[in-house]
Amino acid sequence: MSDTPGRRILLGRVIGAFGVKGDVKLESWTEPRAAIFRYQPWILRTPQGAERELRGVRGRDTGKHVVAQIPDIDDRDTVEAMRGTEIYVPREALPPPKPGEYYWVDLEGLRVLNLEGVDLGTVSHLFSTGANDVLVTRDDERERMIPFVTPQYVHGIDFDAGVVTVDWDPEF
């Protein structure tokens, strides 16, 4: 499995201020939501592309929001200027996945072959629809969206070979 140094995982983003003393309201994509504080350092990336590394962030899940206290930020205006800032962590900051589990980012770049060996491109990314996750593949000609449902559509993932095997019609 790829643990490429420098690879980053997007865990959330700043969605606004919480109160007047510099607390930051976050959208967290970890499960549970407050687990975002376990993984540090954070790399903050503004919508304009500026980045900075941050350590020592604390916070809590209030039930309605995830709220962070960021070192050296103590006013609402500074937080509002951070709106839309993405929160990344180095891939190596996350625990290794359990057997049979993986991080989506570890699938990105793998070749996708159907059961007949037809190359359907590489994994571009995955996204969730609520009903199921979707594997997006791209090649020189097209993009495909394959339901990430095992074993119905996704038959196997071989990290050593760099291949995801799917039951999918190449014309679809």
pLDDT confidence of residue 4 = 46
pTM of the model as a whole: 0.74
State pLDDT tens for residues 136-162.
999 999 999 999 999 999 999 999 999
pLDDT confidence of residue 102 = 85
pLDDT confidence of residue 1 = 43
3-state per-residue secondary structure call for the chain: CCCCCCCEEEEEEEEEEECCCCEEEEEECCCCHHHHHHCCCEEEECCCCCEEEECCCEEEECCCCEEEECCCCCCHHHHHHCCCCEEEEEHHHCCCCCCCCCCHHHHCCCEEEECCCCEEEEEEEEEECCCCEEEEEECCCCEEEEEECCCCCEEEEECCCCEEEECCCCCC
State pLDDT tens for residues 82-121.
999 999 999 889 989 888 888 888 999 999 999 999 999 9
State pLDDT tens for residues 15-57.
999 999 999 999 999 989 999 999 999 999 999 999 999 999 9
The residue to which tokens 């929160």 are assigned: 87
Cβ–Cβ < 8 Å for 112, 122: yes
